[in-house]
Amino acid sequence: MRPLSAALGAETRIAVPGGPFYRKSVDLEDRGDLTDESDREIMRRSTIKSKLLRKEPTLCLQCHFTDQSVFELVALLGMDGIWMDLEHHHYSVETANGLIRATRVARCDVVARAAKGEYMRFARLLEAGAHGLMYPRCDDAAEAAELVKWTKFYPIGKRGFDGGNGDMPYCSVPMADYMKAANEETFIIIQLEEQSAVDRADEIAAVPGVDILFLGPADFTTLSGIPGQWDHPKLWNAYKKVAKAAEKAGKWWGTPAFSPEHCRKLMDLGALFFCHSADIVIFKTGVESIEKQFSPLGFRFDNRLAAGKSYLEG
């Protein structure tokens, strides 16, 4: 029987999972001792941050369902990240902890959003293993700096230390190594969601420890009196202002992308961090597609939801 390495090629490398830590890639012909500690990472690397550093676009899917299988499946399908929203949804940090753990089956980041001012909750989400934090409704640079203080270790911030959680994981790494890796592998996203915040984009982007500016089009258009008008000049002027602020500060920026065509326009402005669609939208459109296919055969469905596309589709 032909050896697997011969079939795949001598240079083929595989990644061997090891819980929250992952062994670095190993040659199939020279696996060596799989208990060898010399090639282990200090902390699980961020897929999103690694790609952004290479100037590659990144894409997240928002997950509303709280079943761990959904998070596990999305991770296995290879998405760069899952947008976990604790600002608008009712589940606890304990539930979030289990969902984040489910994504560790693959190299998928969790980007967790808590509510405005919930600094301690943000820190706990990091301890659970989230790589990205999304802070909503940021008003100014001082508020962005406060989030950095609570979620980055010294010397960047003043995050409290506890190594007994999944991100370290579980007291297994020297303190100094873990704290350095945590500062490097986690990232902070600041949401700008009204005109006054966009007007301060330069100041917010300049805050040390802020990695990504994120324009929230839903709240921005709502608070601007143009709800859901995704092509409105005021929204696109805001995109351009955020893009310039990010470029000036050497930071990344992003926003939801409603379609590949919409995404291309945003990429032309320099955006690299995107969120698209949600599990509830995918499930809804999937069921509606089945109903549409089978209705001509005489099947009748009592669909109680309004027809048409979701606002998330643009």
Q: Give the count of domains, the chain.
A: 2
Residue 250 has what pLDDT? 98
Q: Which residue has the higher pLDDT, 266 or 11?
A: 266
**Do residues 271 and 211 both lie within one domain?**
yes
Average pLDDT over residues 291-309: 89
More confident residue, 11 or 103: 103
Same domain, 249 and 232: yes
Q: How many CB atoms lie within 10 A of CB 234?
A: 14
Same structural domain for residues 171 and 221? Answer: yes
The model's confidence at residue 43, banded by pLDDT at 50, 70 and 90, is confident
Please give the DSSP secondary-structure letter assigned to residue 90: -
257 and 185 assigned to the same domain: yes
Closest CA to 148 of 133, 161, 162, 165: 133
Mean pLDDT computed over 126-146: 98
Q: 138 and 126: one domain?
A: yes
Q: Report yes or no: 42 and 186 within 8 Å, Cβ to Cβ.
A: no
Regarding whether 166 and 87 lie in a shared domain, the answer is yes
Q: Do 36 and 141 fall within a single domain?
A: no
39 pLDDT more than 80? no
The torsion defined by the Cα of 98, 43, 150 and 133, in degrees rounded to 10, comes to -60
- Could you give the C-alpha distances from 180 to 42, 157, 204, in angstroms and in order? 9, 12, 24
Within the chain, strands assigned E span 13-14, 17-18, 21-22, 26-27, 58-63, 81-85, 109-113, 132-135, 187-192, 212-215, 252-256, 273-278
Task: Mark whether 16 and 56 lie in a shared domain.
Answer: no
In terms of residue numbers, what domain contains 208? 44-313
Give the chain's mean pLDDT. 88
Task: Grade residue 109 by pLDDT with cuts at 50, 70 and 90.
Answer: very high
Q: Are 277 and 313 in contact (CB under 8 A)?
A: yes
Q: Both 53 and 26 in a single domain?
A: no
Q: What is the pLDDT of residue 214?
A: 99
- For residue 81, the domain's CATH number is 3.20.20.60
- Which of residues 294 and 29 earns the better pLDDT score? 294
Q: Is the pLDDT of residue 36 over 70?
A: no
Judged against a pLDDT cut of 60, whether residue 12 lies above it is answered with no
